[in-house]
Structure 1
């Protein structure tokens, strides 16, 4: 009997260009399903949460939002943020609420230099650069612990306290994930990034856990850097990077730097994983909602489509994930580039070109 797979996706387009690029990713998923003769299919449940929802309801998602999406196989997320809603409200009310409550503790952000895309990095062998940043995704600097007080003392007397939380369990599981990721790569290397000279408690704990776990992986090369030196290395010694693991804030910043060096945040994909699979994982492009270009049809869908590829891999459709990533490379190499990467291809045309490259791959198979 033919084995068929049916995947139920919770789709949260969010705000701005999130609504545009998420639809392009769905087009790619539906194309792949058709090519498989429906051996695998996708059911999409859309949820209208985001800043518009907040302005109407005073909250970023429904009160029972987590329960509504908990039984899905994966979450496909667009972007969040729009003028009129403070960024800390939009972020904590939706994306971080999902990441923390579903214990999506490993954030995966590949950095790849696509052919045909003019990068900001002057390196003789850019096409060989291929990094992956692994970000601790539920604690660290984004733990949300702290508060504001003393407003009663008068003007300019208020105090704000923001605490970072580092647990040994949280450090170990993401560091171990980085080592397991390195074992699957040609060059087996993990770089740990902290600021432990200044953050003498939480990040020293991280360093100690990294040292302990590394002993269990004698075949994996390791090094450790402070984040300021690491930022310089992204530019000066990019050939030394393979798997980079860091805390919530530091990896967030470094991954944006990496994607900018590769040409644009518009090409950057990411996955918020619950590797234990107790909850659904969430897949989203790294870029924001870009309200300045929303509705113009020029947003780059590559980040969202690349995130769909990460979702396919997570769902066990590894061959299809490889095909999507290859089609993206073939499309950019053929000169299909959106405005953010130096071209004039529209959002829809960019996806059309990727679908055409997928068609070409299937015809040759």
Structure 2
């Protein structure tokens, strides 16, 4: 029976609830597919930051290399700036393990009630696919004239041809539920941008 080592990082707030429920789903699937999960939980979160002054230890990424997957919940706290929670935990994990796709499927399954009237199972069957490591996520920028009336923030978004290409290829390779017929792919881009994406627009 295959065993998979899963690092559990529940994060903050609703992230804890979502991961707890997700683990129940994994546990229900395990016997059906003849696999086992070996969970190891790490306390990295905003509470960890308040106690240690960092979102995770400097050895965290090396530790996570020992696992088959990382199950990471939402992170964030009203008393901590987003750049600390994001660049202290979430984004380093994405970049280190090249998690370049954010995949968000939305499916109306049999036996599930929909808030939209008249919808049958699989009438709602879509996935939002977003690039997850480039753009503003590269954390290139900074502040000037800090704590003065002229304070300014600068953020540079970086897009590589490789990053755009593999994100654009993902929808064609996404298997989905197999119920959607016909399949449509929509590509969202903001035309107010002067240079971003223009050479690699699909």
Shorter-normalised TM range: 0.7 to 0.9
**Do structure 1's residue 131 and structure 2's residue 119 form an aligned pair?**
no
Q: 1:73 to 1:159 in 2, by over 3 A?
A: same
Partner of 1:25: 22
Q: 1:178 to 1:34 in 2, by over 3 A?
A: closer
Q: Which runs of 5+ in 1 are unaligned?
A: 211-365
Aligned residues of 1:7 and 1:42 also touching (Cα < 8 A): yes
**Do structure 1's residue 157 and structure 2's residue 150 form an aligned pair?**
yes
**Do structure 1's residue 180 and structure 2's residue 177 form an aligned pair?**
no
C-alpha separation between the residues in 2 aligned to 1:42 and 1:182? 24
Q: 1:137 to 1:62 in 2, by over 3 A?
A: same
SS in 2 for 1:194: coil
Q: 1:113 to 1:88 in 2, by over 3 A?
A: farther
C-alpha separation between the residues in 2 aligned to 1:33 and 1:14? 24
Matches within 5 A, 1:1-365: 4-35=1-32, 39-113=34-108, 115-119=112-116, 125=119, 127=121, 128-151=123-146, 155-181=148-174, 186-195=181-190, 197-207=191-201, 210=202
C-alpha separation between the residues in 1 aligned to 2:172 and 2:30? 33
C-alpha separation between the residues in 2 aligned to 1:182 and 1:204? 28
Structure number with greater CO (CA < 8 Å, separation at least 6) is: 1
Structure 1 residue runs of 4+, over 6 Å off?
A: none
Name the one with the larger helix percent: 1
Partner of 1:263: none
Q: Which runs of 5+ in 2 are unaligned?
A: none
Q: CA deviation at 1:100?
A: 1.6
C-alpha separation between the residues in 2 aligned to 1:124 and 1:30? 33
C-alpha separation between the residues in 2 aligned to 1:59 and 1:93? 7
Q: 1:19 to 1:188 in 2, by over 3 A?
A: closer
Q: 1:159 to 1:87 in 2, by over 3 A?
A: closer
Deviations 1:116-135 (A, max 9, x none): 1324xxx7547512111110
Q: CA deviation at 1:163?
A: 1.1
Count of matched residue positions in the alignment of Structure 1 and Structure 2: 197
Q: CA deviation at 1:25?
A: 2.3
SS in 1 for 2:43: coil
TM-score after normalising by structure 2:
0.86
Supply the RMSD in Å over aligned alpha carbons: 2.3
TM-score after normalising by structure 1:
0.50
